């Protein structure tokens, strides 16, 4: 998959050109080598990143135990949604499993835009909410441990 035109990703599909332009004003392209961390647990959730190329592993570690990967994200996925709700802290690590490129959106910039233009904010929240719902469904299946001997 190539890194050409990240604005053609499904996450941005159907947005008005003026909204895309405003989003672009909050965005910075980022590149990460393999094994670099995009997000560290406990840090301020100040950014929302959309993966434009590569894969990212979401990890969580308990004291005395090796880290566990609970989700892999790929092109078009949103890495980091803790900026949406208090306490605005990351609750896991996100590590690039291969060279990875993202569009990183400044969370303060996004929140100010969405507060100033509720229609824009509502449309964008309808983009982020399905991400949360899908991950909640996935987490339920993982918790059920459906492939275990029962």
- Binding residues for other proteins, rule: CB under 8 A, are 55, 57-59, 66-72, 74, 76, 95, 97, 134, 137-138, 141-142, 144-149
**Cα separation of 80 and 39, whole Å?**
8
Cβ of residue 145: shortest distance to other proteins, in angstroms?
Answer: 7
79: nearest Cα among 91, 62, 67, 61:
91
Q: Which is nearer to other proteins, 16 or 140 (CB)?
A: 140
| Torsion over CA: 7, 120, 22, 42 (sign) | negative
Cβ of residue 4: shortest distance to other proteins, in angstroms?
Answer: 17
Q: Which is nearer to other proteins, 10 or 17 (CB)?
A: 10
Q: Which is nearer to other proteins, 8 or 116 (CB)?
A: 8
SS3 string, 52-106, reads EECCEEEEECCCCCCCEEEEEECCCCEECCHHHCCCCECCCEEEECCCEEEEEEE
Q: Which is nearer to other proteins, 12 or 120 (CB)?
A: 12
Cβ of residue 104: shortest distance to other proteins, in angstroms?
Answer: 21
Helix (H) or strand (E) holding 94: strand 93-96
Cβ of residue 11: shortest distance to other proteins, in angstroms?
Answer: 11
Q: Which is nearer to other proteins, 85 or 143 (CB)?
A: 143
Q: Angle between the 118-144 and 17-25 helix axes, to the nearest 10 degrees?
A: 70
Cβ of residue 10: shortest distance to other proteins, in angstroms?
Answer: 9
Residue 57: how many other CB atoms lie within 10 Å: 19
């Amino acid at each position: 998959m190539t890194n050409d035109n990240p604005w053609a990703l499904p996450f941005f599909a159907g947005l008005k050109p003026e909204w895309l332009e405003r989003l672009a004003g909050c965005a910075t392209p980022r590149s990460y080598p393999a094994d670099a961390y995009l997000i560290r647990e406990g840090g301020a959730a100040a950014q929302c990143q959309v993966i434009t190329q590569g894969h990212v592993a979401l990890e969580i570690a308990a004291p005395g135990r090796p880290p566990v990967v609970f989700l892999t994200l790929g092109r078009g996925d949103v890495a980091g949604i803790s900026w949406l709700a208090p306490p605005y802290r990351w609750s896991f690590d996100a590590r690039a499993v291969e060279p990875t490129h993202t569009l990183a959106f400044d969370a303060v910039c996004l929140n100010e835009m969405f507060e100033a233009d509720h229609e824009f904010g509502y449309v964008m929240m309808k983009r982020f909410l399905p991400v949360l719902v899908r991950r909640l469904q996935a987490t339920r299946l993982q918790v059920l441990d459906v492939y275990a001997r029962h």
